[in-house]
Every structure is written in structure tokens, then in C-alpha cells.
Structure 1
Amino acid sequence: MLDGSHRIFCESRLIFTTKKLLLQESLHMKKTLFFLLFSVVLLGQKIETIDLSKSIKDGKNSIKSFTVIDQRAEQEVGMVMSHQDEVKIRFENEAGKDIKDWFYKYNTVRGNNDMVLLLEKLNISEDKKEKYSIGRLELKASTFIKKEDGYHFMDRKDTIVTVSSRTTPYIGQNLARKTTLILTDLFKESYKATPWEISIAEIDLPNYTAVLKEKLSILKADELKDGVYKDYYSFFTHNPEPGFILQTNDKGIVTKAVKGEEKKAIRNFYAFVHNGMAFKNIPVGYTEIFKNENGVFIEVTKSDLFPEASASGVTIGAAAGGLVGGIIGAVIDVSLSNKKKSTLGPKVYLDPFTGNYILPEDFDKTK
């Protein structure tokens, strides 16, 4: 028979043990409930990984080292909806590592150049309408060659791509694939590009656009040099092709550039300056280039840059569709070599880093 104190001790121990068991059971139930809820969340969210498996081999084997500088303020790529599920678009690990691994996977032979990719913007979002939605990809990235005197610009992608759920049921997958394609194009175009002679310091890389613009002669020149400019870089650095003289027809229309026995149609050049006035070649002829505090621009309509058909009958009228505020280049071989009609349109700026057109909003609605 237990004495009073011993009985009290046993009862207290029993109560303590019971409470402990109840507490453990409660914690177990909470954990079970948490994992059940977490599983439900996972079922409602999917992952779309940006597949960096396309070949980006440099046929010239010119690159010795490759570096990625990711200066995005937000590391998340974005999210869209697919039916009732959230689809998160992401890299397998993180952008800098994955892009760097991608490059070295296809470029095992080393060259002499140190290449740098500056990832400035990569964002995927969705604009939900009443019965459909628009997926939007914004991507901006640039490449440089690093030398002893600094960083030399090579090429850039600065683009906006939109897709509609009406025509593309898997928006997340589509935009992830387009991300890969745009980056692939950037690599392949960079391999062929000639680095700018102008260099900038590493500290200026985050603000390279403004720094390099300040160094472009065409934006500062009070008087322009007559002659032909073979590409956008020679135009913006104000270096016409040496020895060429412009030739006009009996109506005063510039038709050719002549250098001794060599004659080239004016449409073969990016731009030209005649009697101190600059002109840009476009599919329907050429048009005057203007300048203001924001840069250089032409005043054209959609039909000027993207006519319904070229001389060969190829339809290109839809080329600008969906690229609101984006950048697009037009290279169309037409037999026309006349000054375009005087009908003006909205300002279309020329991108000094690619030579392409920076289309204003609603440009596709101009005629």
C-alpha cells in the first residue's frame, strides 16, 4: 500500500506523461496538416525551367573566358497562369551560373578573348483579360569584350515579346523557350560582331548606355560629314567610307556611291549624308534623319518600314505585330532607290547599339 506522498508522486508522473503524449500527438497532427496543405499548394503550382540546351558554339573558338554579370534588381523571372495552376518560370539553378555553364558546355576549345555578358533585364508577366491573357517577356542583355583598357561593347538584345493564350495555350512554356532563343541569337551575333573601339571602365558597366552615348560623335556633331556609312557603328561614330562620292540622277535623287571604278547602289549602305543632311535607307527608298536631345530618329509609318510586299512579293506586313515599344530591324532587298514621299509619321528612333528601329507604342496602327 502506497503512502500519501508516494501516491501523489505517481499521480503527478501519470498526469505529466499524459500531457506529454497529448502534446506529441498535437505536434504530429500539426505537421501532418502542414504537409497536407503544402502538398495542395504544390499541386496548384508548376515549374517551367528555362532550357539552355541549344548549341551556342563559337565556330571561331575565339573566347578564352566567359563571365556573366547579373545586375537585375529582381532575381525571380516571373509567373503566369495555366488553367487553374500557377506556372513559375525559372532557371534550373540561378541565371549567372546556368548561362555560364551553358557557354562552357558548347565551347570547350579556348581562344584569346575575354567575353562578358551583362544581364540587365529578364521579366515574364501576364496581363489577364476577360476571356484570355497576354504573356509578356522583357529581355535586355549585352555582350562585351574585356581588354586591358576596359570593356568594349559588342552586341545587345533589348526586346519585348508578347503571346496570347488565344493562340498559345502554354504561355509559360512558350515564353521560356523564347528566352532561350533570344539569348542564343545574342551569342551567335556576338561571335560575329566587331567590338567597338570605344572602351568603358568596369565601374561604368551598370550605366554603359549613357556613358557610351556621350562618346558617340554623331550625337555631338554640329556639322555632318558627307559620304556613305556602311553600318550603324560607322554612322554613330561619324566615320563615312573613305573615297566615296555620292552620285545623283537628273532629278537630284541620290542613287549611287562612286569610288574610282567602283560603284555601289545607295541602298547597300546603312545611311548617307548629302549636302550636310543625313538620310536613312528604308524599304521604300530613303528618308531624312533628325536629331534631338533623345537621339536620332526618322519620321515614318508602318507602311514605310514594313510594306505589304517587297519587290519579290514576300509579305512582311505583319512583321511588327505585337512588338509594342520593342526593337526590330528591317533588312529588305528592294529595287527602289528613291527619296520617300513627304508623308511623315511618328518618331522612330535608331538604336545606337544595334542600328535597329525603336518602335513607339501603337506604331503598328500607323499607315
Structure 2
Amino acid sequence: MTKFIFLLLPFLAFSQKTETIDLSKSIKNNKTNYKSLTVIDKRSNPEIGSVMYHKDQVNLVFENNADTDFKNWFYKYNPVRGKEELVLLLENIALSEETKEKYSIGKLEIRASTFIKKEDGYHFLYKKDTVTTVSSRTTPYLAQSLSKKLTLTFTDLLKKSYEARQWEFPVSDAELSDYATVLKDKLEILKADELKEGVYKDYYSFFTHNPEAGFNIETDKKGVVTKAVNGDKKEPIRNFYAFVHNGIPFKVIPVGYVEIFRDDQGLFIEAKKEELFPESNSSFVMVGGGIGGLIGSVVANVAIVAIDAKAAKKRSSMAGTEVSLDPLTGNYILPEDFMKK
């Protein structure tokens, strides 16, 4: 029996392979230099996971470990030291595989966030909470493909963090594991009975309930909001993230704007895929900061939402899907299969 076990060991060792994550894409920061990068690994499991390649199990691994590799990557492209400390919080990096009858799907889950550390605590910058899938029908090299997607995800996270506006609300060490709930609890927009009239330049100003000073909203003859005016300065409404008009909040989207609703989970809109992600050849267009389109266009009929009662009535008969707004990034939280509808 002992001899048989020893004969199996070489075979088992041969069937185990690794795909090392290649953190080599440029993450140079051209705006602000940080004095250091701190990696806080809160993952429940330091192992990432594996997928199969033919009969071999391929483990996705860091070259050294997450802390060392992310620091080496960062300092390689950011050798100049500044004054602030950038913090990368790793919450989840997990690889799994779902086997079908004739193929398999590799799934990579990533949840990570960035902060600026100051004397009063951690100030949130940006986050990534994504699930990426690759089918063996597209490529047999699932581990290699998902390794590249991991690098691209963290590249995007860091680059967006460089541009992000740091939150004024600090999070303590004890609160860091539950920072999203802590920050949401401090947002006035989720609690206020009356919303402040005006336009909101970005998601941060909207969720912290701080409209642009001095701007008034203008509408056309039909009551459709077209622009915001501050003295001689006029800006089309499409240049803003959201606005509040007559006490009603609206989210600006590529084809116009839609009403924002609130429930105990947060803020959401009702929209269709073609409204949030219109095709480049769509007959619907934004005209002069307002809303326009060819008569009879499906997208136009769906998308014109305003104070105009006729437009609102048209759209109510073609209601979209609930899409939540992420208060920490301003991005859409799309329901499952939303892009397939």
C-alpha cells in the first residue's frame, strides 16, 4: 500500500500547475505623488482559486504574495514620493469554475477599495466590486485570461483612485471592514425629507447633498429641463450628474434624464438597456442640451422623461428595470441579465 501511494505522488504533482499574476501594466500617477502604499488584506482566504486546463488544475497565484506584489507594482511606476499615504483594501479575490456539459466557465470575483489615510482615519476614494467570466468556448486558457482581467481591474481601480475626490467623512480602523455601511449612514440625500433644488456636478456632490451654488434650472416651452444658468454662464443639463427640480430628483442619462426614487435600500432609477447604453447609430440624440429624437423612435419614446406630462405618460407604459445607484462611485448597479434584455 505504501509503495502505491509513493507511485501516485509524481502524477499528482504533475497535474498541479500555476498561473502567476502579471502586474506589469503601467499605473503611473501623473497628478499626485503618494509617499507610500499600504495594502490591507481583509480576504477570508488568501488563496485565489483554480480552474482546469485539460486534465491539469491551474492555480492562480501572486508571484510572492498580495502585499509584496501590489507594493512592488506601485513603486515601480511611482518612484517619486509625495506626502499622503494611499491604502489598498483587499476584500475578496476569488476564482472558481462552473462545469457545463461541453464547456466550462471561469469566474473571477474582485472586491477592493482605496483610501487616503490621515490622522483622523481613512478617507474613501474609489472601489471595485466586479464579477468577470470567461468561457472555455472562447479560450481554453481560462486562468491566463482571467489573470489578465485581474490586472486590468486593479489598474482601473488605481487610476480612477488618482482622479477620485476623497471623501470628507473619515472611517476608523474598527469601521474599515464595514466602511460602505458607515459611509452610507452619513449621506444626507438618503435621509432628507426635502431635497435641495439645483444641479449636482458629480455623484459625490449629489450623495452628500451639495448642489452647485448660484445655478438656476431652465426649461423649454414644454417644461423639459434643458440647461442650468449662473449669470452669463449657461451649461447644458447633460453636463451634470443629477438635478432636483420642483422637489423631484432626476438622474441625467445618455438619452435625457429619469426620475430618481428612494427606498430603504437606497436610490434607484427605472431604465432600459438602450437608455443607459444607447448604440452609436441610435436615432435618439441630445440636442442643444435638451432632448430630441426622430418621431416614432423606440428609444425616444422610452427615454423622454420630464415634467412634460405627455412624455411621462408615454414612458410609463414602457417602464424599465430598477437600476440602483452606487453612492460610493455613482455607477449603476445593474440587475442580473440586464444587458441581455
Amino acid across the alignment from 1:178? K
Residue 360 of structure 1: aligned partner:
335
RMSD: 1.9
Residue 251 of structure 2: aligned partner:
280
TM-superposed CA distance for 1:258, in Å, is 0.4
Residue 309 of structure 2: aligned partner:
none
Structure 2 CA distance for aligned equivalents of residues 337 and 299 of structure 1:
20
Residue 205 of structure 2: aligned partner:
234
TM-superposed CA distance for 1:365, in Å, is 3.5
- State the secondary structure of the residue aligned to 2:80: coil
Task: Give the one of 162, 181, 186 matched to 1:210.
Answer: 181
TM-superposed CA distance for 1:201, in Å, is 1.0
1:303 maps to 2:278: no
After superposition, residues 44-55 of structure 1 pair within 5 angstroms as 44-55=15-26
Task: Give the one of 266, 276, 294 matched to 2:237.
Answer: 266
- State the secondary structure of the residue aligned to 2:152: helix
Amino acid across the alignment from 2:14? L
Task: Give the one of 105, 118, 133 matched to 2:76.
Answer: 105
TM-superposed CA distance for 1:291, in Å, is 0.4
Structure 2 CA distance for aligned equivalents of residues 220 and 37 of structure 1:
63
Structure 1 CA distance for aligned equivalents of residues 156 and 337 of structure 2:
26
Deviation string for 1:253-273 (max 9, x for gaps)?
A: 000000000001001100000
Amino acid across the alignment from 2:246? N
After superposition, residues 105-144 of structure 1 pair within 5 angstroms as 105-144=76-115
Deviation string for 1:60-114 (max 9, x for gaps)?
A: 3520111000101011111111111111111112212211222122222100111
Aligned partners of 1:61 and 1:107 also within 8 Å: no
After superposition, residues 67-78 of structure 1 pair within 5 angstroms as 67-78=38-49
TM-superposed CA distance for 1:38, in Å, is 2.3
Aligned partners of 2:33 and 2:78 also within 8 Å: no
After superposition, residues 1-367 of structure 1 pair within 5 angstroms as 30=3, 36-309=7-280, 334-335=286-287, 337-338=290-291, 339-340=304-305, 341-342=315-316, 343-366=318-341
The runs of 5 or more residues in structure 1 that have no matched partner are 1-25, 314-332
Question: What TM-score comes out, normalization by structure 2 length?
Answer: 0.89
Structure 2 CA distance for aligned equivalents of residues 266 and 200 of structure 1:
34
Structure 2 CA distance for aligned equivalents of residues 157 and 47 of structure 1:
25
Amino acid across the alignment from 1:100? K
Question: What TM-score comes out, normalization by structure 1 length?
Answer: 0.83
Percent of pairs identical after alignment?
Answer: 60
Aligned CA distance change for structure 1 residues 280 and 310 (closer, same or farther; 3 Å): farther
Larger Rg computed on CA atoms: 1
Aligned CA distance change for structure 1 residues 198 and 307 (closer, same or farther; 3 Å): same
TM-superposed CA distance for 1:36, in Å, is 4.2
The runs of 5 or more residues in structure 2 that have no matched partner are 292-303, 306-314
TM-superposed CA distance for 1:59, in Å, is 2.0
Deviation string for 1:206-235 (max 9, x for gaps)?
A: 000000000011111111111000100000
Deviation string for 1:15-41 (max 9, x for gaps)?
A: xxxxxxxxxxx9xx85xx655422211
Runs of 4+ in 1 over 6 A off after TM superposition: none
